[in-house]
Amino acid sequence: MAAGPSLEARIAETVRQLGDARAVPNRRWLSGLLGVPPAKVEPWLAEIPSLVSLARSLRKTHLAGGRRFYAQFRAPYELYALARATRPDHIVETGVSSGVSSVHFLAALRRNRRGTLHSVDLPQVQASAELGPRESEVSVPPGRSSGWAIPPLYRKGWDLHLGRSEEVLPTVVRSLPSVGIFLHDSRHTPAHLTFELETIRPKLRPGSIVLADNTQWTGDAFPRFARSLRTRVWRRGHSDLVGLRVPESI
């Protein structure tokens, strides 16, 4: 009997269906954030092929929304694996756009059968049916809202808050007993990232994961926060997506 496709081939097919070659999971980054040997992350990566239908749905919805190439979050499968491995009660993210990061968090929470994703977003809406040459690809198509590509099946456990992070995030964080995972993907300036990190700091616990994208624009804000927690920064390959794991004593 011929062997079926390898795990790597099935992961590659899921990535292909999503339509973003950057989404190949980075094992070293994942194992560093979780504080385990690379072999220990394999059970979570083995679940990625089960997300192939979700990948197809996201790609189809993006194309229907005029996003032939979409500037989506580059590490959705690591988000899924982090949420599966740590089984957080509460995940907080700032920045949603079409919902690529959101839906992979939600897919993990659905499989965990526990947890809530709290998302904060101030959507930019494109002016007409077609994206203008000077408009950002993270803009929301007319008639849609933040998370417009998330299938209805995955919306359970999603707590979406629309508004400026400066106004909404403190209220959301105060209402939570803890934050197991935090993802910054909103306005990328040193001051704003610092604000968000300091806002979630009181609710972080040992083992909490903190992530920030597009740190090429945020200067020393994330490394400084890591130093204050006496932990290291893990960079995803050569990209500007970084993360840290809160140490046992904070």
3-state helix, strand and coil shares in percent for the chain, rounded to the nearest 5: 45, 15, 40
Residue 24 domain flag? yes
**Rounded to two decimals, what is the model's pTM?**
0.96
Residue 43 domain flag? yes
Name the phi and psi angles at 28, rounded to 5.
Answer: -65, -45
Kind plus residue range of the DSSP H or E element containing 160: strand 158-162
3-class state of residue 155 by DSSP: coil
Residue 250 domain flag? no
What is the extent of the structural domain holding 100?
7-245
> Total structural domains in the chain?
1
Q: In this structure, what CATH number is given to the domain that contains residue 184?
A: 3.40.50.150
Residue 89 domain flag? yes
DSSP H helices, 177-240, are 190-200, 221-229
Residue 2 domain flag? no
- Which of 141, 193, 140, 185 shows the shortest CA–CA distance to 166? 193
pLDDT (tens place) for every residue of the chain, 250 residues total: 557 899 999 999 999 999 999 999 999 999 999 999 999 999 999 999 999 999 999 999 999 988 876 657 899 999 999 999 999 999 999 999 999 999 999 999 999 999 999 999 999 888 887 888 888 888 888 889 999 999 999 999 999 999 999 999 999 999 999 999 999 999 999 999 999 999 999 999 999 999 999 999 999 999 999 999 999 999 999 999 999 999 987 6
Residue 1 domain flag? no
Listing from the earlier edge strand, what are the strands of the sheet with 158-162? 158-162, 116-121, 90-94, 179-184, 204-212, 242-245, 234-235
Residue 134 domain flag? yes
